[in-house]
Amino acid sequence: MAPPEDRPRSDAATSPAGPLPSPAGPLAGLDAAAVAARQAAGLVNILDRRTSRPVWQIARSHLFTVFNLILGLCGATLVVLGRWLDLMFLAAAAANIAIGFAQELQAKRRLDRLAVLVRSPVRVIRDGAPVEVAPDQVVMDDVVLLARGDQIPVDGTVLGAEELDVDESMLTGESAPVSKAAGASVSSGSSVVAGRGSIRVTALGAGSRAERLTAEARRFTQVASELRQALARVVRWISVAIVPMIAVVLNGQLQAAGGWGAAFASGAWRDALVAAVASVTIMVPQGLALLTTVSFAVAALRLARGQVLVEELAAVEVLARVDVLCFDKTGTLTEGGIHVEDAIPVHGPAGPVPGWDRALAWIGADPDANPTAAALAERFSAPPDRAPSRVIPFSSARRWSAVQFDGGEANGAWLLGAPEALLGQDPSAGPARRAAGDAAERGLRTVVLCRADRLPADGALPAQVRPAVVLALRERLRPDAADTLAYFRDQGVGLKVVSGDSPRTVAAAARAAGMDAAEPVDGRTLPEDPAGLADALERHSVFGRVGPEQKEAMVHALQARGHVVAMTGDGVNDALALKAADLGIAMGTAAPATKAVARLVLLDGRFSRLPAVVAEGRRVIANIERVSQLFLTKTVYAFVLGISFGALAWAFPFLPRQLSTSDFLMLGFPASVLALAPNARRYVPGFLRRAVIAALPSGLAMAAAILGVYAYGRWATEASQEQIEAAAFFTLTVSGLWVLVIAARPLTGWRLLLVGSMYAGTVAVLTVPASLQYHQLEDPGTQLTVAAFAFAAGACAAIEAAHRLLRRRLRARPRGRRPR
């Protein structure tokens, strides 16, 4: 992004109707005609508060998916046929739509509220007189008046300045105020911390720097969740195969009813259509998507109790996969404030200068003290016995402030500021310069307090000043920073400090937190090409003087090397990087814009909350991998059964209501329990591949058993269709529960109780008269029951053998190292 002074202003001087009236003079401002002309030309400070996705588009994206279309058509078919009791399969789909829509709608509303700028009244000069106007009434070329405490609402050029100091940390990350003189540029989103001035508007509305940052951050994007991406891949696989499958299944069921003509003549097409619906709906693993969403939601509730706000549910998974953690210094490593690390009195020929501690106490207690001076109050609390006769406030231009006392313990003039500004080349100040240099080498900020007899009337620096004390200041390190960084190092996560502050200051904070900061890098020297930038990031860990766009580029460079990147921060200068990262984490004291784009917010600002997020992410990933084998097994046997029964023109042996019950026993209830259980297994990439490999033999074995028992009942017995369906239901559920046994291992007491209760439920379905009536099943008889036991036992044995073989191969295969 170009700085304000480099941006073209092709639309600032002309309008559709012709040239705009020019300002009357440097400080005369615009007259009513000039303001009206600019308003007519649209050169007004109006901001767009919309996100890129309206509500109707959000609703469409969640409603009109391939799965929802298929399930919706199946449901509509059953409604038309009057089969209301067979609609239970729609419950999971409806819940998933509702949760997904509510989540994204909440994100849209949060992003719509996003603003970098505080919408306070703005003082401008109109017709030669200062007036207050609303921010959206500021126009191009307006003269805006600035005073201490104001946030600058537009980009502009300074016309006049009286010791004007601007805090640009919200946009740049640089913690030190910047002095602005006439002709300098200022950016919207900055704040005036000292002095006053006036600026001419050069960019506003959507063209201002703050609004461009806001617009970029406001774009809605989803967190890169491996679980969600894996589910999307499964959706694509099934979507490709399910349309021809529908044709095969429907034709097979009508052929089983005697052919198309006979089926329509006799009315048997209704039962055939219901069976086709059953065979199609069983292929869709909508329960896995719902269970993933619910697992994320439960994890978010658990984290909320620990003061971690999850802005997007899938974020709880991502931190468990992160292998590079980037973080800003201020607000993450440090608390933002500073404290006096050391006070080193300077002894001259006459000994120490008396009264310096009293002078520092008054400077620290001054209500108008800047943050550096205010930090003195914690250590120096005994002010002089009289009020000062004169005060010169701090200015970034001269880099010192002064206070004068006439008499008393602190008699004389006291000047506090940068050593190079106050000490000059005075040979007698050598000890003070050496003390300041030693402190600076340790990464500490240094200021010096000097004494003079009196302050000159013109406010200039006195001709003779004597250094009294050198103060070494350090930013407050968060007490939990060192332990948290040590935790991530132990987990194999690379650490990168990326700050807008000076490299030496950043390195000092990093070293205090236990990092190796031997070679801090100045961001202004980094290469612009992504490959060179990535190489620098691989070699170094501490970076200073890094701008907002550069932080974003660094995140992209790491991602291009295969890293999963998390970024923490608290300033608007971090917002773009937080949005670009795989996981953005904002501190509780962060700017509203930063919190709005973050996926996690540490409400109490404690860095030590992140290990708990890692633990929740691991639990979710490991448990979803555990239960995904169950759902994918169902998809495998559903496809095999659909193709087989369609090709053989056999009546499908299940009704939708029967499959809803078997899903509840094999999948729904036990999977929901297992998905919420504790699990501390570390993240291992590639869970979908492992789940598919495990599901294939299980699904094939179950499908073979069901086909076997159906063929036996059809050809070897005189059983009715309802009896064959009962035997098939028993075979399906018992063999499917063995997949649950494998997924639930190790079989602790509560897991044995869970599996046992599901087996008991299967027996109840097949023996309780009311259940048999609801499910339209009949007692299969002794011969078919024995056959069902045999086929189910064979399927269980095949599933167990395949599981043991896969485990041995997985253990024998060397694990690849995660990218670093």
What per-residue confidence (pLDDT) applies to 4? 37
Peptide bond into 746 cis (omega under 30): yes
> CA nearest 514: which of 464, 478, 545, 550?
478
What per-residue confidence (pLDDT) applies to 712? 93
Q: What is the DSSP string of 772-787?
A: HHHHT----HHHHHHH
Kindly report the CA angle at 772 between 770 and 777, in degrees rounded to 5?
160
Contacts of 171 (CB under 8 A, 6+ apart): 187, 189, 190, 209, 210, 213, 548, 571, 572, 573
Q: Taking 70 as the threshold, does the pLDDT of residue 221 lie above it?
A: no
What per-residue confidence (pLDDT) applies to 48? 58
Contact predicate 775/661, CB 8 Å: yes
What per-residue confidence (pLDDT) applies to 47? 65
Across all residues in the chain, what is the average pLDDT? 81
Contacts of 416 (CB under 8 A, 6+ apart): 360, 363, 373, 394, 400, 401, 402, 447, 448, 449, 450
Out of 142, 167, 328, 570, pick the active-site residue: 328
Check residue 817 and report its DSSP letter.
Answer: P
Note the Cα 57 to chain centre separation in Å.
22
Q: Which segments of 649-748 does DSSP mark as H helices, in order?
A: 656-663, 669-675, 687-715, 721-744
What per-residue confidence (pLDDT) applies to 625? 82
What per-residue confidence (pLDDT) applies to 728? 93
Q: From CA 639, how far away is CA 628, in angstroms rounded?
A: 17
What per-residue confidence (pLDDT) applies to 137? 84
Q: Taking 60 as the threshold, does the pLDDT of residue 18 lie above it?
A: no
Check residue 583 and report its DSSP letter.
Answer: E
What per-residue confidence (pLDDT) applies to 701? 95
Q: From CA 191, how far away is CA 181, in angstroms rounded?
A: 15
> Pairing between strand 600-602 and 308-310?
antiparallel
Ramachandran region, residue 178 (left: φ > 0; alpha: ψ -120 to 50; beta: rest): beta
Amino acid present at 568: T
Sign of CA dihedral 106, 312, 574, 339: positive
Place of tokens 């009508």: 254
> Pairing between strand 400-405 and 155-167?
unpaired
> Pairing between strand 521-522 and 542-544?
parallel
Q: Taking 70 as the threshold, does the pLDDT of residue 213 lie above it?
A: no
Contact predicate 124/130, CB 8 Å: yes
What per-residue confidence (pLDDT) applies to 818? 44
What per-residue confidence (pLDDT) applies to 350? 66
Place 204 in a pLDDT band, splitting at 50, 70 and 90. Answer: confident
Q: Which segments of 209-366 does DSSP mark as H helices, in order?
A: 209-218, 226-256, 260-266, 269-281, 286-305, 315-318, 356-365
Q: Taking 70 as the threshold, does the pLDDT of residue 92 lie above it?
A: no
Mean pLDDT of 511-517: 85
pLDDT in tens, 246-299: 778 778 778 877 778 887 887 778 877 777 777 777 777 777 777 777 787 788
Which H or E run contains 587? strand 583-587
What per-residue confidence (pLDDT) applies to 753? 94
Check residue 683 and report its DSSP letter.
Answer: P
CA dihedral 344, 345, 349, 354 (to 10 degrees): 180
Q: Does the reported pTM lie above 0.85?
A: no
Check residue 667 and report its DSSP letter.
Answer: I
Q: From CA 146, how far away is CA 144, in angstroms rounded?
A: 6
Contacts of 344 (CB under 8 A, 6+ apart): 435, 439, 469, 470, 471, 472
What per-residue confidence (pLDDT) applies to 467? 92
Place of tokens 């239970």: 88
Residue 624 in tokens:
């979803």
Q: Taking 70 as the threshold, does the pLDDT of residue 50 lie above it?
A: no
Q: What is the DSSP string of 788-800?
A: HHHHHHHHHHHHH
Q: Taking 80 as the threshold, does the pLDDT of residue 123 lie above it?
A: yes
pLDDT in tens, 730-743: 999 999 999 999 98
> Pairing between strand 494-498 and 185-186?
unpaired
Q: Taking 90 as the threshold, does the pLDDT of residue 83 lie above it?
A: no
Q: Lowest-confidence range among 24-33, 100-109, 251-260, 685-694?
A: 100-109
Residue 635 in tokens:
């998809």
Q: Taking 90 as the threshold, does the pLDDT of residue 185 lie above it?
A: no
Q: From CA 574, how far away is CA 546, in angstroms rounded?
A: 10
Higher per-residue confidence, 638 vs 396: 638
What per-residue confidence (pLDDT) applies to 100? 67
> CA nearest 430: which of 315, 305, 490, 346?
346
Q: From CA 818, how far away is CA 453, in angstroms rounded?
A: 66
What per-residue confidence (pLDDT) applies to 271? 76
What per-residue confidence (pLDDT) applies to 593? 63
Contacts of 356 (CB under 8 A, 6+ apart): 345, 410, 414, 449, 451, 468, 469
Question: Which of 417-421, 596-600, 680-684, 798-802 shows the highest mean pLDDT?
Answer: 798-802
What per-residue confidence (pLDDT) applies to 739? 92
What per-residue confidence (pLDDT) applies to 427? 74
Residue 43 in tokens:
């050169």
Check residue 682 and report its DSSP letter.
Answer: P
Higher per-residue confidence, 641 vs 277: 641
Q: Taking 60 as the threshold, does the pLDDT of residue 307 lie above it?
A: yes
Q: What percent of the chain has pLDDT over 70?
A: 86
* Biggest distance spanned by C-alpha atoms of the chain: 120
Contact predicate 40/17, CB 8 Å: yes
Note the Cα 398 to chain centre separation in Å.
42
What per-residue confidence (pLDDT) applies to 473? 87
pLDDT in tens, 148-173: 767 788 888 888 888 788 877 655 55
SS3 106: helix
Q: Which residues pair with 147 in a beta bridge?
A: 196
Q: Lowest-confidence range among 100-104, 356-360, 517-521, 533-537?
A: 100-104
What per-residue confidence (pLDDT) applies to 172? 58
What per-residue confidence (pLDDT) applies to 101? 75
Q: From CA 531, how far away is CA 533, in angstroms rounded?
A: 5
Q: From CA 170, how far away is CA 191, in angstroms rounded?
A: 9
Residue 183 in tokens:
């002709």
pLDDT in tens, 443-500: 788 899 999 999 998 888 888 888 999 999 888 888 888 899 998 988 888 999 998 7
> CA nearest 102: which of 52, 50, 58, 68?
58
Which H or E run contains 334? strand 334-345
Distances (CA, A) of 22 to 12, 92, 93, 482, 729: 11, 65, 62, 58, 85
> What values do phi and psi take at 296, rounded to 5?
-60, -45
Q: From CA 552, how far away is CA 554, in angstroms rounded?
A: 5
Mean pLDDT of 300-310: 81
**Annotation marks residue 385 as catalytic:** no
Higher per-residue confidence, 38 vs 190: 38
